[in-house]
Structure 1
Amino acid sequence: MKFRYFYIALCALLTSCGTSQKAVDYDANPAINLQRILDEETGEKLAHSTGLSLTVISPKLDIDFTGAAGFDSLEKDRKLDAAQPFRIASLTKVFVAIAIMRLRENGQLALDDAITQYISQEHIEILRKGGYHPDAITIRQCLIHSSGLYDYAEGGPEYIEVASKTPSRRWTRTEQIQFAMDYGKPHAAAGIEQHYSDTGYILLGEIIEKLTNTGLAEGLRSLLKLDKIGMNATWLETLEPSPEGLLPSVKRYVGPLDASEWDASVDLYGGGGLVSTTRDLAMFLQALFDGKIYEHEDSLAVMLLQKDYDAAGKQLPIQRLGFRSIQGKKNDIVAYTHSGFWGTLFIHFPEYQCSIAINDTNDADSEALQRVINYMLWLGKQS
């Protein structure tokens, strides 16, 4: 899940060559080496991951790879195809954050605006009754997870417990906000501490709906230029039609529990909800860092806290506006990443113009991502 994958990527960067105990047998053929990693990590000898799909794109390192190995479910009755889509869960937050930044570019909001300027009166009152001061919570704080809002989804075990007992329940955003009030308390006053919060992001989803005067799906698709980028296998589940001609989706699990048929609304309104493929996800990161999504030259720098952010003399936080940041202590390599509940992660290394997207069928304790990063670093040293 989100913190496990984040830790693996962090370990690889901090140690320069990673901590994998497997023998290193590299050459300069990315297709052979990357497919070997997938095959080994899903092979019977290791039995870590049931299935892995992977895309790595790096013009600088001459990599353009998409591949898969293993199976698309724990039943192991169908081989995994790299073109199979999957729920990406919290990676959706990066898309939402970029959409908010696009609204900023359009002059429709400022990052330090209070959320009360844009969310419904009903939601404002729910927050107040829950002990919050919504007039003091800003858009920026929701983006950077410093709003103080309790996370309805993963603040405690209650939400998953309820969802598992009522898998067909159609949740609303209002019910999820109320869930956060019923099962948690404010972490701190807004802007004081960082606590990961899906609640803040579903409020950002509401802001996108209001300012685009459309549904969230239409707002994201337009603001992020998804069709122009060529993301033909990405959609907001149940809020827009799924693309035609796609293969069956990869199964999703909570431990051994099959959650594939849980209603999409369990994670839909801004904290999660997108379905995609590793190919589309890596293409999206490449488009973002190549300047093909933002209209203003400074927008990416603002998103990464390289501009228009007062750190008050402190080190920049790991949380950026949507992304998490990693910087290696030994090699100073910087990366921007996000991971998702079901076993998905994407990560971009500006130094190598490299985007990696990986999905694990059963969210296992695999070394695949670490080994892919190790190989990328090895290729970087050869160039």
Structure 2
Amino acid sequence: MDHANLTRPLQSMIDQMVLSDATIPGIIMEVDAPRINFKFSGASGVVDFESGAALSCQHPVRLASNTKTYVSAAILRLWEDGKLDLDASISTYLPDDHVQIMRSGGYDPDAITVRHLLTHTSGLFDYSDCEAFESLVAPGTYCWTRTEQLQGTVDWGKPYGAPGEVYRYTDTGYIELGEILERLTGKPSYGAAIRDLVGFDRLGLRQTWLEDFDPHPADTLPRAHQYLNGVSNYNHDASEDLHGGGGLVATMADLAAFHRAVFTGGVFKNPSTVETMLSTIVAQKGGPVAYGREQKPGEYRMGIFVFDIDGLTDYQHGGYFGTEAAYFPELDITIALTVNRTDSDAGAKLINQAIGVFRNL
């Protein structure tokens, strides 16, 4: 097979996307298709609008909610090792002060399980998707604690429903999963727990780290800028999207390698653990629109969405700042990309376009 016939359309589609949308600073795409011995690494555009410096495939970015897949995988590794029960009440694992904050907001932490947190069926209000939080983080200078964000869950909104009743995506559940990782492993951060449980060194993930906790890896470029409403978040304090809902930084090559490893035997000890990850609690109804997305019960599993793209199964997750990672099991193809801006469907469009290149091979 002439791999140039694959490389050309992939590079062309990211070039055209950047040219056609002036709000996108740049795009990085990584494609891994081992069945046909093909890999693609492509970049187009600039690191930031201000300098106009060329973007490269080696530039890392904030992964935002793509971090949730890492958190879920680490939690499931603890479950494999018998150190955690997915159906245990979260009050079993969380500190008393956080349990009391939840109770003060009308939640019952004894009825919410780890499985509820993983599948966004806990009923916990999403502190990060409300006007109060958005206005407070706009300056980007405040250093948030997990406790403050949990308190915001209580102060800024009401429960979406009883545990298991409503599916509604919520960062709140994942910051508490981050806390569970720290408490059960004794590590100084959930990033350190993820690194060990997932096996970053074994997988060769040398350009993935937890911002504010880990040093910037040697021989790694500075982060590319990511934009919200035309403004770079480069200097925003990382804590506004930290603690478990987000926080990791990585290159697209590392993101693709991790995402593929999750579904191909590189992370879990037992092959059946992937089946557990792909299971869910099918809630009775969907909650309010989240980040512009209708909430469809059953589409979110444990740290991963499951979509159907024209007959192909797609295990996918995105991040608020423009990242996407997808694995197509029927084709054994992984795609990771970033468009480096929020509120854009460009990433999802590129996933669909890119997989189309491989459909008829």
Q: Which whole-Å CA distance do the structure 1 matches of 2:148 and 2:162 have between them?
A: 23
1:176-201 CA-to-partner distances (Å, cap 9, x unmatched) read: 10011110111101110111110000
Q: Which whole-Å CA distance do the structure 2 matches of 1:42 and 1:86 have between them?
A: 17
* Structure 1 unmatched runs, 5+: 1-25
Residue type of the partner of 1:39? D
Shift in CA distance, 378/256, structure 1 to aligned 2, threshold 3 Å: closer
Give the conservation status (yes or no) of the 8 Å contact 1:34–1:372.
Answer: no
Q: Which whole-Å CA distance do the structure 2 matches of 1:254 and 1:39 have between them?
A: 21
1:39: which partner in 2? Answer: 15
What is the CA-CA distance between 1:244 and the residue it aligns to?
1.0
1:229: which partner in 2? Answer: 203
What is the CA-CA distance between 1:60 and the residue it aligns to?
2.1
| 1:1-383 equivalence runs, <5 A | 29-43=5-19, 46-47=21-22, 49-154=24-129, 156-165=130-139, 167-215=140-188, 216-305=190-279, 317-328=298-309, 331-363=310-342, 365=344, 367=346, 369-382=348-361
Shift in CA distance, 366/78, structure 1 to aligned 2, threshold 3 Å: farther
Give the conservation status (yes or no) of the 8 Å contact 2:164–2:281.
Answer: no
Q: Which whole-Å CA distance do the structure 2 matches of 1:152 and 1:313 have between them?
A: 22
Shift in CA distance, 46/262, structure 1 to aligned 2, threshold 3 Å: closer
Residue type of the partner of 1:318? E
- What is the TM-score with the length of structure 2 in the denominator? 0.91
Give the conservation status (yes or no) of the 8 Å contact 1:37–1:372.
Answer: no
Residue type of the partner of 1:319? Y
Shift in CA distance, 172/365, structure 1 to aligned 2, threshold 3 Å: closer
SS of the equivalent of 1:357 reads strand
Paired residues, what number?
349
RMSD between aligned alpha carbons? 2.2
Q: Which whole-Å CA distance do the structure 1 matches of 2:94 and 2:137 have between them?
A: 26
1:17: which partner in 2? Answer: none
SS of the equivalent of 2:116 reads helix
Q: Which whole-Å CA distance do the structure 2 matches of 1:198 and 1:365 have between them?
A: 20
Give the conservation status (yes or no) of the 8 Å contact 1:49–1:364.
Answer: no
1:314-336 CA-to-partner distances (Å, cap 9, x unmatched) read: 997101011011024xx431111
- What is the TM-score with the length of structure 1 in the denominator? 0.86
SS of the equivalent of 1:134 reads coil
Residue type of the partner of 1:135? D
2:291: which partner in 1? Answer: none
What is the CA-CA distance between 1:311 and the residue it aligns to?
5.7
Residue type of the partner of 2:236? W
What is the CA-CA distance between 1:28 and the residue it aligns to?
6.2
> With CA pairs under 8 Å and 6+ residues apart, which has the higher RCO, 1 or 2?
1
1:15: which partner in 2? Answer: none
Q: Which whole-Å CA distance do the structure 2 matches of 1:69 and 1:310 have between them?
A: 40
Residue type of the partner of 1:92? T
Q: Which whole-Å CA distance do the structure 2 matches of 1:377 and 1:256 have between them?
A: 31
2:293: which partner in 1? Answer: none
Q: Which whole-Å CA distance do the structure 1 matches of 2:345 and 2:352 have between them?
A: 13
SS of the equivalent of 1:358 reads strand
1:115-172 CA-to-partner distances (Å, cap 9, x unmatched) read: 0000000000000001111110000000000000000111x1221210113x222111
Sequence identity (%): 36
1:255-303 CA-to-partner distances (Å, cap 9, x unmatched) read: 1222211111111110000001111011111211220110012100110
1:223-246 CA-to-partner distances (Å, cap 9, x unmatched) read: 010111111110000112121121
Residue type of the partner of 1:159? F
Shift in CA distance, 275/27, structure 1 to aligned 2, threshold 3 Å: closer
SS of the equivalent of 1:187 reads coil
2:292: which partner in 1? Answer: none
Give the conservation status (yes or no) of the 8 Å contact 2:323–2:347.
Answer: no
